Structure 1
Amino acid sequence: MTLPSPLPLSVLDLVPVPLGSDAATGVRDALHLAQDAEAMGYARYWVAEHHNMGSLASSVPLAVLAAASQVTSTIRLGSGGVMLPNHAPLSVAEGYRLLGALAPGRVDLGLGRAPGTDGRTARALRGQSALMEEPFERQLSDLIAYGTGEYPAGHPFAGTIAAPAGEGLFPPLWILSSSGYGARVAAQAGAGLAFAWHINPDTALARQAADLYRAEFEPSDTMPDARVIVAASVVCAPTAAEAEELSLPLGLMFLRLTRGESAPFPTVEEAKAYPYTPQERAVADGMRKRAIIGDPADVARRLLELARDTNADELILTSILPDPDRRRSSYRLVMDAVRAAEGKVAVTAG
């Protein structure tokens, strides 16, 4: 497969809340990022769903996206994704139909089957609802029925209207996958496939998932053609040394998550000063190895290789940095470098 030119790039935001900041500031920074991403030429601004994490303010992506819909005009807005087992499908259908009314024609609904949190918090989110213990495929089928109004024969809630009513409000669906499981589900549902390479950086598995998905894809009204997005974690700075330094908080955040600690997103200074044991250092460095870290030219080269190797139509990038200015700068450097690298390839090919 030949890479699309230019390769679409998108933003996946986790809405970090750095040490010394607060959620209100984190959300304001997220909205500034959405506006800047639109101005830079990014195709989508997606928000992930995470719970019980003091370092992130993305517990309700729909709220962030609704606010972003009022300060942007062209960039697509979506969840990356709604963790469907945490929610009643009718509630999700209504929420994203309403978002479709706020941002007509530019909403995506990404769906995952992981909880986006620890087991205890997942149980607290789901309460006593037996519905949320149903298989993901059943929940997905119900969501599509509620969202489109097209119910299978004998459905117990046939005729229920997901408000607001109206044509064209139910967005295209994307199925998130980090193991390959979601490829067949996405193909059968006529949804896009979003592979979480930033969680599981297995390039061969991502390619297998993409190929299986394309081979079995069944078109839908909102997704007439197969589409594959691959997600990558990126830290880009003017020099490789700066990028390595900026990535240090990623490792400390992940280490704390493995121990069940909920704390603000660490600063570079905090990560530098932390007294790691050898075992802790291995865990933190292992997380950083999942990310693409470097100067603009190196990051662009590695991203274009990733897109080619995984047969991706698009890359969606998460750049989790405690300093919002550095975070926006990382995205700007990546966009400029990728476009420059594509230009050199085009000139060479010509």
Structure 2
Amino acid sequence: MSPASSPLPLSVLDLVPVSSGMDAPAALRETLALAREAEHLGFTRFWVAEHHNMPAVAASVPAVVLAALSQATSTLRLGAGGVMLPNHAPLSVAETYRLLSALAPGRIDLGLGRAPGTDPRTARALRGAAGLTEDAFERQLTDLLAYGTGTFPAGHPFAGITASPVDTAGQPTLFPPLWLLSSSGYGARTAALLGTGLAFAQHINPSVSDAAAALQAYRTTFRPSRTFPEPRTIVAASVVCAPTPEEADELAASLDLMFLRLTRGELAPFPSVAEARAYPYTPHERAQVAAYRARVVVGDPAQVRTRLLDLAERTGADELMLTTLLHDPAARRRSYALVAKALGLRRAARVAV
């Protein structure tokens, strides 16, 4: 891609990682610094994920982080990546993201998922007696849309309830654009039916063919909506970029140990490279880690550029969303800066939906 060409839009998915030796306040300060840097570099969006009962990440309530980010940035689109809807009452979500839209008009996205964002036991604690089925998610999604837009179907038991704050004359709608998160075909079908954006989690489902098939099915069956007259797609990828392939591989060692801990249900802060190198992996564990590494784009700027452009071309993604988890916050910021430069990113002149 030449410097004169239009760069592929890039965005950030942040988990507010809590590294070993760091506390949550420091992790949040680093996320604020990363968002400001991402805005300066020209990234389009900065989304915050929802996870619970995980000491390695501090983003248990994305809306709180987004409220802080709204006051630390001015052009960056901010959003949940996403709200795990079965964990929440739809009216509460509608009001929360209307309020965020009032704090940052025209800059808020609402990504929605149906996964728990945690282990089954913690999910039960969050949801009480709420079911975890697809039908339950679809009912919640229908209610959320009704609260957000004020268009309840005839006979709806909650018709007339208004999600505050309300729109006023001359004010753009406070209900943000909806993006459905997906790592399979289900989310793609639902997004097409409702006319929302689609964000595919390729860092969770590493199959590029699955991502390409889901995005194609979404485009083929897409029903235009007021917010999305045309289909819009994001593909999320896990990336570690450093000046040399050797350094990138070294930095990614932290991800290896974190993944292994997650598979065993171990709760601990994000490990350092030294902790990862000192860990005595068994042959079986090394095989597990090698399989996980296949999900991650690791390399120097040229290698990462090649792999990301290939991912965008093979899936037809309109935008890539990068998540970079590293123990050292400075190395994390540098990784995003190297990718931005490698792909010719420039500071955005305006906010894009």
The TM tier, using the shorter chain, reads: over 0.9
Q: Give how far 1:84 is off.
A: 0.6
Q: Give how far 1:42 is off.
A: 0.2
Distance change (3 Å), C-alpha of 1:132 and 1:210: closer
Counterpart code for 1:179: S
Counterpart code for 1:190: G
Counterpart code for 1:293: V
1:6 match: 7
Q: Give how far 1:133 is off.
A: 8.6
2:205 match: 200
1:140 match: 141
Determine the C-alpha separation between the residues in 1 that align with 2:256 and 2:64: 28
User: 1:233-312 residue pairs with structure 2 within 5 A?
Assistant: 233-312=238-317
2:126 match: 125
Q: Structure 2: state its 5+ residue gaps.
A: 346-353
Q: Give how far 1:288 is off.
A: 1.9
Q: Give how far 1:130 is off.
A: 6.0
1:67 match: 68
The yes-or-no answer on 1:222 pairing with 2:227 is: yes
Distance change (3 Å), C-alpha of 1:84 and 1:303: same
Determine the C-alpha separation between the residues in 1 that align with 2:256 and 2:106: 38
Determine the C-alpha separation between the residues in 1 that align with 2:310 and 2:338: 17
Q: State the secondary structure of the residue aligned to 2:304.
A: helix
The yes-or-no answer on 1:210 pairing with 2:215 is: yes
Runs (4 or more) in structure 1 with deviation over 4 Å come to 129-134
Q: Give how far 1:181 is off.
A: 1.2
Contact 1:88 1:131 in 2 (8 A): no
Q: Structure 1: state its 5+ residue gaps.
A: 341-350
Counterpart code for 1:160: I
Contact 1:101 1:169 in 2 (8 A): yes
The yes-or-no answer on 1:41 pairing with 2:42 is: yes
Match of 1:329 among 318, 331, 334: 334
Contact 2:148 2:163 in 1 (8 A): yes
Q: Give how far 1:215 is off.
A: 1.0
1:344 match: none
Contact 2:86 2:130 in 1 (8 A): no
Determine the C-alpha separation between the residues in 2 that align with 1:133 and 1:69: 32
Deviation larger for 281-290 or 182-191 = 281-290
Determine the C-alpha separation between the residues in 2 that align with 1:185 and 1:29: 35
Determine the C-alpha separation between the residues in 2 that align with 1:317 and 1:152: 38
Determine the C-alpha separation between the residues in 1 that align with 2:36 and 2:16: 14
- RMSD over aligned CA atoms reads 1.4
1:26 match: 27
Q: Give how far 1:154 is off.
A: 1.1
User: 1:51-200 residue pairs with structure 2 within 5 A?
Assistant: 51-129=52-130, 135-166=136-167, 167-200=172-205
Q: Give how far 1:17 is off.
A: 0.2
Q: Give how far 1:282 is off.
A: 1.7
Q: State the secondary structure of the residue aligned to 2:265.
A: coil
Q: After superposition, what is the alpha-carbon deviation per residue over 1:143-190, rounded to whole angstroms, capped at 9, x for unaligned?
A: 000011111111110010001111510000000010121111001111
Determine the C-alpha separation between the residues in 2 that align with 1:191 and 1:109: 10
Q: After superposition, what is the alpha-carbon deviation per residue over 1:181-207, rounded to whole angstroms, capped at 9, x for unaligned?
A: 111100111100000000111111111
Q: After superposition, what is the alpha-carbon deviation per residue over 1:283-325, rounded to whole angstroms, capped at 9, x for unaligned?
A: 2222222100000001001100100000100000001111111
Q: Give how far 1:338 is off.
A: 1.1
Contact 2:82 2:113 in 1 (8 A): yes
- Report the TM-score when normalising by structure 2: 0.93
Q: How many residues align?
A: 337
**Percent identity (aligned):** 66
Q: State the secondary structure of the residue aligned to 1:264.
A: coil
Contact 1:235 1:247 in 2 (8 A): yes
Q: State the secondary structure of the residue aligned to 1:244.
A: helix
Q: State the secondary structure of the residue aligned to 2:230.
A: coil
